[in-house]
Amino acid sequence: MNGAPVNPFALPALEHYEVGVLQPHLVAEHEHLYVDICGGGGAFKEFTAAFDVPGAREHGGFVLVVGRTGSGKSALVNRCAAHLRDRLDELGLRTTVLDLAPVLPSVFDPRDALSRKERIAGVGAELLSRLHELHLLKPGAEHSAADSRGYPWLLRRLHTVLAARTAVVVLLPSPGDLVDEVTEYAYACGSPRVVFLAESDRFFPEHIAHIRQAPSTRLPPTVVTLRQIQAHEVRLFVDDRLTRAAERGTFPYVHEDAFTFLPRRCRSVKRLQEVLFKTYQARLDAGAGYTATDVVTISDFQRFLD
């Protein structure tokens, strides 16, 4: 380990974000930064088992990632999106990832409350607008937005307005009506050459079973589940980040006692990443005590947990 001081928990292209989410569909280097924690490795294998079979990818589909807050759902959705884009490209389809997550107001903001019908209509309108701007629609097809049968009907037939030899991977906004909204998407999104991905932290086994029964003449909805981080996985995550960062620069190591303390105080990988990033950044900004022989202790972490 040598070179300039670095924060080992800063993500490439997101160095100033304390809780940066891995985005391999935007930053290729992020693909190699996934750590098999919270069941993420198994969930990704379950997803690829469903889509990496002859004919499955181009048939389109719906993928739902379920897990508690902070378990890495967004990161897994982004990994699935990057994988789908690359595999569809291999089939000779010009594939675009469209992130529609920011297009709707927060579901927790009562000032901007929208009904489920309004939210789905907003997503449908934005989707058509983006496709039109990127020249991914057949000429004149953008007027399909005015179809009286509505957006759920259009989502099932999106391939009929897509330009030839194109495919789309759509990242849906967090659901407003939660179970009902996601269920409606699962039943509506069944167009060839279009894959929709969503995430939710409010699904119980009976809801998942209902979604998996969504009628489809193509690929059935795929649901994968993440869990909260376990104690031994805290060390796996920290060791991975420190090992990778050793090639970029210098930083202190984590004291052994912290691996007993951190699992008790950081119950999600999101919280763990935040505390690690802030703690190391504070030491780095202080300009002292930041060499390979220095150590980050429980008292350092405690500052951001109280």
pLDDT for residue 219: 72
**Band of pLDDT at residue 143, cut at 50, 70 and 90:** low
Output the pLDDT for position 213.
Answer: 74
In the block, residue with structure tokens 């029964």: 213
Q: What is the pLDDT of residues 76-123, one digit of tens each?
A: 999 999 999 999 999 999 999 999 988 776 655 554 577 888 888 888
Q: How far apart are CA 178 and CA 183, in angstroms?
A: 8
| Bridging pattern class, strands 222-225 and 94-99 | unpaired
pLDDT top residue among 214 and 250: 250
pLDDT at 112: 59
Q: What's the burial of 149, exposed, middle or buried (CB within 10 Å: 0-12/13-18/19+)?
A: exposed
What is residue 175's predicted lDDT score, i.e. its pLDDT?
Answer: 65
Q: Helix 73-90 crosses helix 40-51 at what angle (to 10 degrees)?
A: 30
Q: What is residue 181's predicted lDDT score, i.e. its pLDDT?
A: 82
Summarize the confidence of residues 116-135 as an average pLDDT. 87
Torsion of CA 296, 300, 305, 306, to 10 degrees: 160
pLDDT digits (tens, 9 = 90+) for 148-181: 567 777 788 888 889 999 999 999 987 655 678 8
Give the mean model confidence (pLDDT) for residues 216-225.
78
pTM of the model: 0.91
